[in-house]
Amino acid sequence: MARVAVVTGGTRGIGEAISLALKEAGITVAANYAGNDEKAAAFTERTGIKAYKWDVGDFDACAAGVQQVEAELGPVDIVVNNAGITRDGTILKMTRDMWEDVIRINLGGCFNMAHAVFPGMRSRKWGRIVNIGSINGQAGQYGQVNYAAAKSGIHGFTKALAQEGARFGVTVNAIAPGYIDTDMVAAVPADVLEKIVAKIPVGRLGQAHEIARGVAFLCSDDAAFVTGSTLSMNGGQHMY
């Protein structure tokens, strides 16, 4: 029987690439999304991967979403916490709501999803949790104290939960992408993007499928001895 994975924010950008990579690995994938029903439907039609709508920042919604996935597809063996938002601004311009929104979704979503699946993984003695951090959680970034704090928190969350899961066959790891060629990065002004690329030793943006292949490895049986680790995938921009 195929393993079942939930990929949060799994219908667009890096999340879509992760959903497809796991499907190619023979895993049954449920792609979570938060907002755009039309785009989610188009994703399902294009990929054959079923999309499920809930807010990862809502503790009860995550529990109910996982319960629905398990009723329809089977026990969840893998969770990829990819969902995230930005609400950028310097601290003088950042409102409390901008802070709370990013922490609630980007970091709180990891807790909510892990809490929903961890008991089952532990009882079955097998599980994979992969959290998507960021280079900006490692190095910081001007105008992103909320985002950097949330992503940095993800790296600490990963190391702590890994210690709880290790003896039960549940691994917990993170990937910290650098600048990836997605719609969000494409929206950056051309002159700014040129300066960003100039700081990347390999001389280009990353590709979503490259991040997805790293996730696929961490979700595999071959990665059973890897836990509490953060894999930096940033083209050498920040060596951590």
Contact 54, 32 (CB under 8 A): yes
How many C-beta neighbours within 10 Å does residue 104 have? Answer: 17
Among 26, 14, 66, smallest CA distance to 219 is for 26
Type of residue at 160:
A
Q: What is the pLDDT of residues 74-92, one digit of tens each?
A: 999 999 999 998 898 999 9
Active site residues: 147
Q: pLDDT tens across 27-53, in order?
A: 999 999 999 999 999 999 999 999 999
Report the SS3 class of residue 53: strand
Q: What's the rounded Cα separation, in Å, for the pair 51 and 149?
A: 29
pLDDT band of residue 1 (cuts 50, 70, 90) is: confident
Which pair of structure tokens corresponds to residue 72?
A: 């329809």
Above 70 in pLDDT, residue 192? Answer: yes
The kind and range of the H/E element at 43 are: helix 37-47
CA atoms within 13 A on the CB side of 122: 13
Confidence (pTM): 0.94
pLDDT at residue 234, rounded to an integer? 78
- Tokens coding 181: 């060629």
| Torsion angle of the four alpha carbons 216, 221, 223, 226, in this order, in degrees rounded to the nearest 10 | 130
Percent of the chain clearing pLDDT 70 (strictly above):
99
- Dihedral over Cα of 115, 27, 17, 180: its sign: positive
Tokens of 83: 């969902």
Structural tokens at position 43 = 């994703």
